[in-house]
A and B are shown apart, each in its own frame.
Chain A
Amino acid sequence: MITQEKYRTTVKELLASGSVKMVIGYKPGSTPDRRRPLFIRTSEEADQLVLDSTCMTNLSGYLVTEGLLSDEKRVGIFLRPEGIRSINILAAEYQLNIEQIVILGFDSTGRDVRPLEGRNAGDFSGLLSEIKEKPVQTSKEPLLERIEKMNAQERFDFWQEEFSRCIKCYACRQACPMCYCRRCIVDSNQPQWINTSSHTLGNFEWNIVRAFHLSGRCVQCGNCDRACPVNIPLRLINQRMATEVLDGFDHFAGLSPTQEPVLASFKKDDTETFIL
């Protein structure tokens, strides 16, 4: 409550001083347990702001849709640490100018929500390095344990079963702040790389493309997983890829706005004989 009240005041001050044109936050949703994105442009709108532990959605995707930042004005945005990582990646991949973003950081443990110190992406580098070194220990999901015990064939069968439910709505893509491509590979038809049909093969193709394209870029905000209408445990795929990238390349996505993207950079003295 205190954090929320303080932040309402901060938002009003930011808008009144003209330092931002808009703040993206949360407001109550259609049921008591739901929150929905809120675009604050006036002091009255700031009064609708809610900030509590149920504010889960990573809002950073809104920064790169429909030219929000194209007038070079600054925008404030409520972000959890994962959200801060995703705007760092967007900056590193030249999708936004990090100077235009005013961060209103928060995090929560249980039901308690607390503000994070800082306003600019750079202010959070210490915090993000800490998270890289000491990831928050959460108990392992039973489903993950089950999958880890499977052999390759069982694992294949498991995912085949899961993907057979996919309806190719692409909610996972739309919800992901890292999926900003103007023309997604699945929407390209000259040539048609990926089957458009939502049969098991087409669903496999889509989900594998998604897994690879987000390796070293996913920040585990959970947007995709929450958005999937057929409840495919998408988080597990991306978590696994993040672990691979961390173990193999010591790359923790989104540490800073200037971090080199792991799958889009190469070195001349690389010992590998191929690039992906």
Chain B
Amino acid sequence: MTRILFSDKLDNCIAKWRSAGLTVIGPVQGESLSGYAAVEKAAGFEFGMVLPERPLKELFFPQTEPMLRYTIKKNEIDTTDFTAPQGKRIIFGARACDASGLAIDDPLFGWDYKDEYWFQRRNESVIVTIACTKADDFCMCTSLKLAPDSTKGSDVLLRPIDKNRGWLIEELTDRGREAFAIISDYLQESSEPAVPTVVVPEKFNLDACVTWLQNPENFDSKFWKEISMRCIGCASCTYLCPTCHCFDIQDEGDTYSGIRRKNWDSCSFALFTMHTSGHNPRSTQSARWRQRIMHKFNYFPGKFSVNSCSGCGRCSRQCPVDMGITETLQEISKL
């Protein structure tokens, strides 16, 4: 016997969570773009899409975040810190790749310096993932040794039952159990089977790729230039990536007062590594693409023992010149 949350009870659950002080967030189809957003009613959700176009990471690491306000006076500097907005949230209907993305980035944001903006939001959010029963040509979680029902980064895993009538509940963490205790009145025991998760074919041999990337001789391989010749260096693959986490700190204002902000930045930009002298150690787009791949599958796992990719496929789905991680790793597997 497993507990089931029936879809027709979702409105009651949302109301219950909201009255317990949680903001309820989930996949929403906007007029021209899908993403994760807050809803008041179950009708606001759209569970039918493969995955939202915008990644879950932006709810934890927004594109621009104020850090402090400064005022420079004659003999003193005044600063006021901004903290991340407080408030408990439940993300209902995350995708497994998006939830994994959060877990992948946790060690990064907590490594030598604990990023309060990230962790405050992480600690105040319950991630309820719905296992995928649908995928598209770009999904590749299985190539990254994850799965449509992987539990990484999730507090609760839901498995859909037949005809979108509801979900079987697997509570994974205390945070998840607490959130579901709030709605326990609306849950039912049942032995109904779950709809099988979608089969996502493996697209490349990850271990072979990693071995190739770790070989220092391949750093200067001609491969990099060939594979990235058409990259135009737009940053959309990094900005939509649920694990890409680079940021830049900028002061906005004038010499006397302003706001210091933490803004998304991307290794695709020529300016990313430009020195003040004008020298750029990654002066070509191919060097920048190599960095993106090396970082995700060589340097990041070297430091944190996990690949910085959850296989969501957004980078390939979105690329204006039809590049992406998939093609590059497929080609590396053949080398």
Contacts and interface: CB of A to CB of B under 8 A. Distances in A.
B239 A169 contact: yes
Which of A36, A202, A230 counts the most B-chain CB atoms under 10 A from its CB?
A230
Contacts of B264: 167-168, 198
A196 B234 CA distance: 16
Contact of A223 (B230, B269, B320, B326): B320
Nearest to B261: A197
11 contacts: A37-B229, A61-B232, A169-B266, A170-B235, A173-B234, A175-B232, A195-B252, A196-B250, A197-B64, A198-B64, A230-B54
Nearest to B138: A30
B232 A165 contact: no
Interface string A167-180: 11111111100000
Contact of B236 (A66, A165, A202, A227): A227
B124 interface: no
A221 B233 CA distance: 19
Contact of A169 (B33, B230, B236, B271): B236
A29 B53 contact: no
Given A39-B229, A197-B250, A229-B318, A175 B284 contact: no
Interface in B126-184: 137-138
B77 interface: no
Given A30-B137, A30-B327, A198 B263 contact: yes
A268 B76 CA distance: 53
Interface of B: 32-33, 53-54, 63-64, 137-138, 229-230, 232-236, 238-240, 248, 250, 252, 261, 263-264, 266, 269, 271, 284-285, 316, 318, 320-324, 326-327
Contacts of A21: none
A197 B263 contact: yes
B274 to A, nearest CB: 9
Interface string A27-71: 001110011110100000000000000000100011001100000
A57 B319 CA distance: 12
B232 A174 contact: yes
A258 interface: no
A29 B234 contact: no
A132 interface: no
A165 B263 CA distance: 15
A62 B261 CA distance: 34
Nearest to B314: A229
Contacts, number: 93
Contact of A167 (B63, B138, B269, B284): B63
A41 to B, nearest CB: 11
Interface of A: 29-31, 34-37, 39, 57, 61-62, 65-66, 165, 167-175, 187, 192, 195-199, 202, 223, 226-227, 229-231, 233
Contacts of B322: 29-30, 34-36
A199 B271 contact: no
A202 B264 CA distance: 13
A66 B284 contact: yes
Contacts of A62: 230
Contact of A37 (B138, B230, B239, B327): B230
Nearest to A182: B270
Contacts of A175: 232, 234, 320
Most buried by B among A57, A66, A169: A169
Contacts of A57: 320-321
Nearest to A31: B137
A202 B261 CA distance: 12
A183 to B, nearest CB: 8
B284 A196 contact: no
Contacts of A65: 232, 285
B33 A231 contact: yes
A165 B33 contact: yes
Nearest to A39: B229
Tell which of B236, B240, B323 has the most Cβ of chain A within 10 Å.
B236
Given A198-B63, A233-B32, 7 more contacts: A36-B322, A171-B234, A173-B234, A197-B64, A197-B261, A227-B232, A231-B32
B230 A171 contact: no
Nearest to B232: A174
A36 B230 contact: yes
